[in-house]
Amino acid sequence: MIVTVTLNAAIDRTLTVPNFQRGQRHRASDGVTLAGGKGINVARALKSLGIPVVATGLVGGQTGTRILEELTNEAILNDFVHIEGESRTSTAVVDPTGGTYTEINEWGPEVSGAELEALLEKLRYLTQGAELVVFAGSLPRDVVDDFYAEASHELVKRHVSVVLDTEGEPLRLGVEAEPFLVSPNQAEAEALVGQEFHDDEDFRIGLQSIAEMGARNVLITTDLGCVALLREERDPRSYRVLAPPVEPVSTVGSGDVLLAGYLAARHAGRTHEESLRSAVAAGAASTLEVGAGCFDPRQAGRLQAGVELSELAPVEAL
């Protein structure tokens, strides 16, 4: 079983608004409402791929109740800690005409120390039979930046693998906890390393830098697919993977689906190369639908033949 953790769960509402313009009145042509937050998006995609998964985290108020109802309606196993604060609502506006999307995310609730301890106790219970734990998304207000790092340290001591997908200081501290895999997007990885990535050499250096900070494996999602540094025992190999060309409807949550696709393929015992192809195909398939974490696995299977994978040469020692 895989456990996903979403501290800042939300109700995600995605509106399709052709020719969206600021300051104008619009009528949405379509709308999708789902339980959201990065960990929940990963859980949704894993379930679509047939992987046993349970979603946990923090929910509060009427919005939190609705999050749990939405998860139950989707038959996604869940076991969340209830908190006093109100869970957030997030809105995304997708403009299929201009090929753009606009996100408006609330800050989310304040969380007490007792509520965080209740979540850690929940994790200790849920991970007794877990293969790995995915920490994904931002931290709520008043949660210390090293929460992911401290939780990861405890899990690693119990021989539970940790996957981390977050940003900023929580990402930097979490990487130092030596997780099995970190999966930032390109902008988050650039901020972590302290430089922009423009070519293969930049990406190679960036992957190696993040690995040297403590991550055993690194998967950076990009607009075109992903780059990755993956270890077979102690031997690291780096890859660039390009998605086949598609006409995207919405890119919201595509990185979460890509990560889920990789984890599902590795769960099934497939090689790194096969897993990366599956991951990028799943991410591409998700851009053809509205709704974070939603995609058609059959469409992903069809797209896989068009995925391009190449190995990046090792960074030469200075």
pLDDT at 317: 47
pLDDT at 77: 97
Whether the full predicted model's pTM is greater than 0.85, yes or no, is yes
Half-sphere exposure of 270 (CA within 13 A, CB side): 16
Q: What percent of the chain has pLDDT over 90?
A: 78
CB contact set of 104 (below 8 Å; sequence gap of 6+):
90, 91, 92, 93
Which fold, 2-312?
A: UDP-N-acetylmuramoyl-L-alanine:D-glutamate ligase (3.40.1190)
Question: What is the residue-level pLDDT of the chain in tens, covering all 318 positions?
Answer: 999 999 999 999 888 888 888 788 888 777 889 999 999 999 999 999 999 999 999 999 999 999 999 999 999 999 999 999 999 998 888 887 777 778 888 888 999 999 999 999 999 999 998 989 999 999 998 899 999 999 999 999 999 999 999 999 999 999 999 999 999 999 999 999 999 999 999 999 999 999 999 999 999 999 999 999 999 777 899 999 999 999 888 888 899 999 999 999 999 999 999 999 999 999 999 999 888 899 999 999 999 999 999 999 765 544
pLDDT at 93: 85
pLDDT at 315: 54
pLDDT at 28: 79
Q: Active-site residue numbers?
A: 256
Task: Give one DSSP letter per residue of 268-292, joined into a string.
Answer: TT--HHHHHHHHHHHHHHHTTSSST
pLDDT at 316: 55
Contact 86, 37 (CB under 8 A): no
Provide the residue ranges of all domains of the chain, joining segments of one domain with +: 2-312
**Amino acid identity of 301?**
G
For helices 186-193 and 200-213, the axis angle rounded to 10 degrees is 70
pLDDT at 55: 98
